Amino acid sequence: MEQLSLTKNKYIKNFDSEKNIILLHGLFGTLSNWEHVIHYFSSESSIYAPTFPMCRKPKSGGCLNQLVSFLEEYINQYEIKNPILIGNSLGGHVALLYALKHPDKVEKIVLTGSSGLYENTLGASFIRVRDYNYIQKKVDEVFENKKVITKELVDNVYSSTQNPAEVIRLIGLARDAQKQNMKAYLHQIKIPVLLVWGEQDVVTPVSVAYEFHQNLSDSTLKLIGDCGHVPMMEQPQLFNQYVAEFILN
């Protein structure tokens, strides 16, 4: 098994398995969001967890398409065959856009709290505000399971709001995600899709999960109680169980 861990990328190559899993984080996501998933699946799959790059010219739009291009280059660079894309929030949106462009290159998709239909970004003002207590309150709203909210997590979000270039990038991505509604295109995706949703998700409410389920022809929906927008962190045992069943089916 070959393992590479970098500041902005992580991959674990399992030479005994043909399964390839790519983990795609959300707007404020980091590699640590996937800690439980990586630990659970690395013994039986190759795991790839890239960090999305800065958006070029975010004010002019097209940020999501840039992330899709990044994913294309990433998959080509590592020569990843038939990956299973697992995307949270914005990462799910990128997974769907990639699958639309490359339907024959994706084995399966897992969406959890995905944007693409509706996403309450908690307002652009949230990203612009530089008050630590306010940021902490907004982070608290994202998670139903408050035990996973660490000082490091809040610090990471707060740090992003202190960097003007990062703020512009985040606002550009949030606005682009809202503009690129995928409802009219979901019927084109024939790849098996698993939807894992927190019942208390306030960013992409359960109604969004049902709408995805209705418009994706080969989809399965699993709801998790006592869970907000980030199921793989808040309820990792159930999340990993549902994903494992889906991958092995």
Q: pLDDT tens digits, residue range 178-230?
A: 889 999 999 999 999 999 999 999 999 999 999 999 999 999 999 999 999 99
Question: Using CA atoms, how far apart are residues 111 and 178, in angstroms rounded to an integer?
Answer: 17
Q: Say if CB 204 and CB 89 are below 8 A apart.
A: yes
Question: Using CA atoms, how far apart are residues 110 and 108, in angstroms rounded to an integer?
Answer: 7
pTM: 0.92
Structural domains in the chain, sorted by start:
2-248 (3.40.50.1820)
Residue 86 one-letter amino acid:
I
pLDDT band at 1 (very low <50, low <70, confident <90, very high): very low
Output the pLDDT for position 59. Answer: 56
Lowest mean pLDDT among 9-18, 68-77, 92-101, 238-247: 9-18
